[in-house]
Amino acid sequence: MGLIARPEPGGVVRGEADVSPDSWVTTRLDFLVNWARANSLWPMPFGTACCAIEFMATAASRYDLARFGMERLSYSPRQADVLLCAGRVPYKLAPVIRRIYQQMPQPKWVIAMGACASTGGMFDNYSMVQGIDTIIPVDVYVPGCPPRPEGLMYGILMLQEKVKQERLRDRALRREMEPDPESQLYIPASAINELSEPFGNSVHQTRSGL
Amino acid sequence: MPPRAFQPYAAGSAVADAEAPRTPVNVPHRGGPANPSAAALRAAFGEDVVRRVDVVWGETTVYVEASRAADVVRWLKEDAGQRYDYLVDVTAVEYREPERPIEVVWHLRSLPFRRFLRLKAELDKAAPLEVPSVVALHRSADWLEREVYDMFGVRFEGHPDLRRILMWETYREGHPLRKDFPLRGRFSRAEQLRQALRTEPEAHYSMEEITVAEAFAHLPADMRARLGAGPKGGPAEQAGVE
Amino acid sequence: MATTKRTVEVALSTNGLDRDGRPQRVPLVTDAGGNVLTMEAPAALEPELEGEHMLINIGPQHPATHGVLRLVLELDGETVVRCVPHIGYLHSGFEKMGEYRQYNQIIPWTDREDYLNSPGNNVAFALGAERLFGVECTERAKVLRVIAMELSRIMSHLVWMGTTAVDIGAFTPFLWTFQERENIYNLLEGWVGARLTTSMTRVGGMAADLPDGWTDGLRKFLRGFPATLEESDRMLTKNGIWVGRTVGLGAMNAEEALHYGLSGPMARASGVAYDVRKDFPYLDYETYDFDVPVGTNGDVYDRYLVRLEEMRESVRILEQALARLPEGPINVDDPRLVLPPKHKAQSEMESMIHHFKLVMEGPRPPVGECYVPVESSKGEKGYYFVSDGTAKPVRWRIRPPAFVNLSAIPKMVEGHLLSDVIVINASIDIVMGEIDR
């Protein structure tokens, strides 16, 4: 129960009150469904750069993603649960990741692995998307450049926790976000510009003024 | 079919009397012995084509006249005493001073003689930026020249398919490696994203969904012609393309 | 004998229909008992199979493209008639950013372009920048850099072998090769603190010296690694499936290889005996005793053999490097380039100012330009620097071997089947970070 707020295109935030009480049946059902979902999240590895190599190392023998039920990598988005964006996403690749995300059926989650997928990383320039959350909704951000396999696994466990806290009655969680038809943006342009601003004083340390 | 054995080689492919390769030590900043090809070029082409020869950090740079660059590259490849058979790189340099010309740079290597040569052509920014293409001589120049076009706006005459390669083909912000192009691009981030998301609004990437119509527009011209009018009712037919 | 002549519909071995889609009718003469006497063959018994070429898009998101590469294939059935590659899906603006950073600040970016060969890129950058500054690194740094380059060559070829095996259908070598990579990761992490993106050189030297016991760790790795190579060799080299799927594919002869500008294992498999370590040596490579494998046919199988053998040769070089590793400083003693020791910077005013100026303004090379190539795992890699005397380069150009190697793919896949395209693409050993920069 409580107020669940979802931002809509145009920046309007509307709340939905979850008014019906949980019963024993729904709680058990939630537990069962979430347990099944969390422990067999089939990732769709959208691996672009160095993080993809660390993802492969996480899937290999030493760190072994199979323990989390994630060894079945699905390169077809139609059969995947988690879009694992591992690596930097330039603007040329933006429509691709948007299309892949839209092709995934609900329930779906997104892990932004690495600094570049989370915020653009060390690539604050004309060609790089400053974080894939400007294009698609992200559930878990895993920092690192590249994150160690342990870091990625921590992020995956965090996602599993998030999955386990979902409620079936909460329809808002599984509603597909529609982009603004004219601009194709999910979040308002001002929000995108704000998210993409250079962070803190990191830019000025080089005295290049840029 | 049984696998073949192969012989490990110990040495390179140079001619027998080429200088033995050594790690360079104490390389002088300027001066130092020039690549003998520079003098040979001067003798073959004269002073109006071979403008200047510089030796910097042991590497010889020959400045040539822009319109004759392909002839120079051809002579260097075909002359028996030069045999520059390997094109390493084609790139361009723009300096920070706005009045300096843009330089198109070719890096050439002669594997038989173990030599390295840099050719440069200066292009005045006030004039159209054009140089002849060397694709017919070195096929590796194909993509390298496309990249120079994409990043600097230099056109290569004679290139079969000069279009953008790293940025998308309808990229409107300009040529990124020019000095008047800001690091973060000209448009705001939201506008860059809007333009990027619009490039292929109906992009299909799975094999079941691709239709000839969508990929059609992005193909080179001769492939389009060979595929004919496209599928019935596709945009090619609607547009009246024969 | 009475004969009857009638026409019958003939069921043909193909689809039995003529051009208009109607069943073919042929004249037939039979006797009273129904035995066939003569039959006239129809004019066109076998209808021509009409087909059109099909356009197939592979990528940019695809498990087998080794990164974000997009191939548009024109297929005649399953045979490739034409291939048009589209790249740029990982264009990260490296060369532009290099113009806004000091030389040492560019080094982390060199890790990220060819991310399989990060230490190699760091070494290539340091060599080029040091030539631009007119300094030479110390003897110890030279040997450490050789160790870094050969380790990165092994790392890169291990990924190549694992992922190519997966493309062809063999999953187990992937696990073996990645396990060996973990051993190398442990070594690198002990040396510089990072597994993959190492940033292990600086202009003038190295980021860090070897910790105690590191050389023993490397010796242990070198003792165990040839056994893994043997395992993979036994599994793949004479394997009927492997041989059947790789021999004769994507062959380029030596002339074509030179014309297309191939370098590295791609060129050597085609018979071009060009290795930057041998022909234009650096870091005293001419004093090391190693061979360079050169193939004959230039097909995928030869490229596999060349890379496998290169890993063995790298082991040889590493053993020699370990044997000759001298003591001494890792950084050149040049105050223009190298920070003062920390204890001095924290106690003496001059050293603190020196440290401050070097960090805030960066070392400034003289006006000039240089290009120092190295043999990376993909081929001839080099950074072309143009300096105007300031702390930031005017132009920083990355000569990407995989970019030029990939441009030959339309030539290599013509006439092959669709599944061969995947194998040929894998054999080029592309890394999109380097191709798209």
CATH number at residue C293: 1.10.645.10
Q: Which residue of A has its CA nearest to B199?
A: A95
Is the pLDDT at B205 greater than 70, yes or no? no
The answer to whether the beta carbons of residues C268 and B10 sit under 8 Å apart is no
- Within a domain: B130: yes
The answer to whether the beta carbons of residues C46 and C64 sit under 8 Å apart is no
B204 and B152 inside one domain: no
| Contact assignment for C399 to B88 by CB distance below 8 Å | yes
- Within a domain: C343: no
Which one of A50, A73, A96 has the shortest CB-CB distance to C61? A96
Banded pLDDT at C67 (limits 50, 70, 90): confident
Cα–Cα–Cα angle for C128, C131, C136, nearest 5°?
115
- Within a domain: C397: yes
The residue written with tokens 């979040």 in the block is: A187
C261 and C168 inside one domain: yes
- Within a domain: C82: no
- Our count of domains for chain C comes to 2
User: Which letter does DSSP use for residue B184 in this model?
Assistant: T
Q: Tell me which chain B residues have a C-beta less than 8 angstroms from the C-beta of C247.
A: 1, 3
- Within a domain: C341: no
Is the pLDDT at C11 greater than 50, yes or no? no
C26 and C166 inside one domain: no
C184 and C289 inside one domain: yes
pLDDT for C60: 86
B131 and B200 inside one domain: no
User: Which letter does DSSP use for residue B30 in this model?
Assistant: B
Strands annotated E in A34-181: 43-47, 82-86, 109-113, 140-142
pLDDT for B223: 66
Which chains reach chain C with 3 or more Cβ–Cβ distances below 8 angstroms?
A: A, B
C245 and C128 inside one domain: yes
CATH number at residue B143: 3.30.460.80
C315 and C408 inside one domain: yes
Q: Which residue of C has its CA nearest to B111?
A: C274
Which chains reach chain A with 3 or more Cβ–Cβ distances below 8 angstroms?
A: B, C
Alpha-helical (H) ranges within A39-135 are 50-59, 94-103, 115-119
- Within a domain: B236: no
Test mutation, C109, C112, C184, C435, chain A, max A CBs within 10 A: C112
- Our count of domains for chain B comes to 2
Give me the phi and psi of C205, to 5 degrees please: 170, -145
Alpha-helical (H) ranges within chain B are 36-45, 69-78, 141-152, 189-198, 212-216, 221-226, 235-238
Q: Which residue of A has its CA nearest to B197?
A: A95
- Within a domain: B18: no
Handedness of CA C38, C42, C43, C44 (dihedral sign): negative
Q: DSSP labels for C38-94?
A: EEPPPTTSSPPPP---EEEEE-SS-TTSSSS-EEEEEEETTEEEEEEEE--TT---H
Gap between the Cα atoms of B150 and B165, Å rounded: 6
C38 and C108 inside one domain: no
| Contact assignment for B95 to C394 by CB distance below 8 Å | yes
Is the pLDDT at C220 greater than 80, yes or no? yes
pLDDT tens digits, residue range A80-129?
A: 999 999 999 999 999 889 989 999 998 999 999 999 999 988 898 899 99
- Within a domain: B225: yes
C278 and C187 inside one domain: yes
Residues C48-74, mean pLDDT to the nearest whole number: 79
Gap between the Cα atoms of A26 and C273, Å rounded: 71
Which one of B190, B197, B206 has the shortest CB-CB distance to A94? B197
C172 and C262 inside one domain: yes
The number of beta carbons lying within 10 Å of the beta carbon of residue C144 is: 26
- Mean pLDDT rounded to a whole number for chain C: 87
Burial class of C350 by CB neighbour count within 10 A (0 to 12, 13 to 18, 19+): exposed
Q: Which residue of B has its CA nearest to A76?
A: B206
pLDDT tens digits, residue range B71-130?
A: 999 999 999 888 899 999 999 999 999 999 999 999 999 988 888 999 999 999 999 999
B83 and B129 inside one domain: yes
- Supply the range of the domain harboring residue C197: 102-134+137-331+365-431
Test mutation, A42, A46, A48, chain C, max C CBs within 10 A: A48
- Within a domain: C359: no
Distance from CA of C159 to the nearest CA of A (A): 9
Identify the helix (H) or strand (E) that includes residue C336.
none
C37 and C113 inside one domain: no
- Supply the range of the domain harboring residue B153: 27-157
- Within a domain: C166: yes
- Within a domain: C277: yes
Is the pLDDT at C43 greater than 70, yes or no? no
- Within a domain: B176: no
B102 and B197 inside one domain: no
Distance from CA of A41 to the nearest CA of B (A): 22
B152 and B193 inside one domain: no
Which of C39-53, C288-302, C378-392 is predicted least confidently? C39-53
Peptide bond into A146 cis (omega under 30): yes
The number of beta carbons lying within 10 Å of the beta carbon of residue A164 is: 15
* pLDDT top residue among C166 and C38: C166
The answer to whether the beta carbons of residues C204 and C130 sit under 8 Å apart is yes
pLDDT for A5: 47
C275 and C154 inside one domain: yes
Q: Tell me which chain A residues have a C-beta less than 8 angstroms from the C-beta of C175.
A: 60-61
- Within a domain: C59: no
- Mean pLDDT rounded to a whole number for chain A: 83
C165 and C107 inside one domain: yes
Longest dimension (CA), chain C: 127
Distance from CA of A126 to the nearest CA of B (A): 4
C207 and C321 inside one domain: yes
pLDDT for B188: 87
pLDDT tens digits, residue range C240-259?
A: 999 999 998 888 888 889 99
Residues C256-281, mean pLDDT to the nearest whole number: 91
Ramachandran assignment for C69, one of left (phi > 0), alpha (psi -120 to 50 degrees), beta (any other): beta
Longest dimension (CA), chain A: 62
